C-alpha cells in the first residue's frame, strides 16, 4: 500500500474538482441533463458528505477493529433529503474543501496502519486498503461526472450550434 501516492492523488483530485467548478454560475451548478441525473451542486455536496460520513469515518472504523460500529449512510437519499440542489455552490465547495483538508491532515498519521485489517459487512468483507483505494476511485468517478456535466451543459447552451467537430463524446 503506497499511502503517500494515495494522499497525493486525493490532493490532486481536490484541485481538479475545484477547477471543474470554477466559474460556474448558480444556474449551471444546479442544471441537470435529465431528471434522474445529478447537478454539479449535488455532486459537490455528495463529495463533502462522503468525505466526512463515509470514507474517513469508515476507514477509521475498519482500523478500530471488528467490534466498532459501522455508521449507516444513504448517499442516494441524501441528495434529496438534504436538498443539495438548493445550496450555494461556493459554500458547498468550501464545505468539501474543509472536509478534504481534515482528511489530508489525518491520513499521514496512518503510516503504520494495518491495511489488511478487515471489516465484515452484509455485502462482504472490506479491508482498510480497499477503503482507501475506493476513496481515490470514488473521486475519479465524480470527476468524470463533473466533466460530463460541463460537456452536456455546453452542448445545451450553444444549441443550435453543433460541437461534432470536437470529436465523439
Nearest to 30, CA basis, from 39, 43, 22, 21: 39
Number of domains in the chain: 1
User: What CATH number is associated with residue 128?
Assistant: 1.20.120.450
pLDDT digit string, tens, across residues 12-59: 999 999 999 999 999 999 999 999 999 999 999 999 999 999 999 999
Domain of 89?
A: 3-166
pLDDT of residue 66: 78
pLDDT of residue 124: 86
pTM across the whole model: 0.94
Cα 115–Cα 117–Cα 121 angle in degrees, nearest 5: 125
The dihedral over CA atoms of 113, 114, 116, 120, expressed in degrees to the nearest 10, equals -90
Amino acid at each position: 500500500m503506497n499511502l503517500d501516492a494515495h494522499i497525493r492523488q486525493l490532493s490532486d483530485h481536490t484541485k481538479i474538482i475545484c477547477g471543474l467548478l470554477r466559474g460556474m454560475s448558480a444556474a449551471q451548478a444546479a442544471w441537470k441533463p435529465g431528471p434522474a441525473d445529478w447537478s454539479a451542486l449535488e455532486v459537490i455536496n455528495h463529495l463533502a458528505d462522503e468525505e466526512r460520513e463515509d470514507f474517513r469515518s469508515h476507514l477509521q472504523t475498519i482500523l478500530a477493529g471488528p467490534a466498532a460500529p459501522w455508521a449507516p449512510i444513504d448517499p442516494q437519499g441524501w441528495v434529496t433529503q438534504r436538498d443539495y440542489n438548493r445550496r450555494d455552490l461556493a459554500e458547498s465547495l468550501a464545505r468539501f474543501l474543509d472536509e478534504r483538508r481534515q482528511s489530508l491532515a489525518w491520513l499521514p498519521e496512518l503510516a503504520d496502519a494495518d491495511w489488511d485489517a478487515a471489516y465484515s459487512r452484509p455485502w462482504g468483507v472490506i479491508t482498510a486498503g480497499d477503503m482507501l483505494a475506493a476513496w481515490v476511485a470514488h473521486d475519479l468517478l465524480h470527476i468524470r461526472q463533473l466533466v460530463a456535466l460541463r460537456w452536456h451543459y455546453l452542448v445545451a447552451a450553444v444549441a443550435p450550434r453543433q460541437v461534432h467537430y470536437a470529436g465523439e463524446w
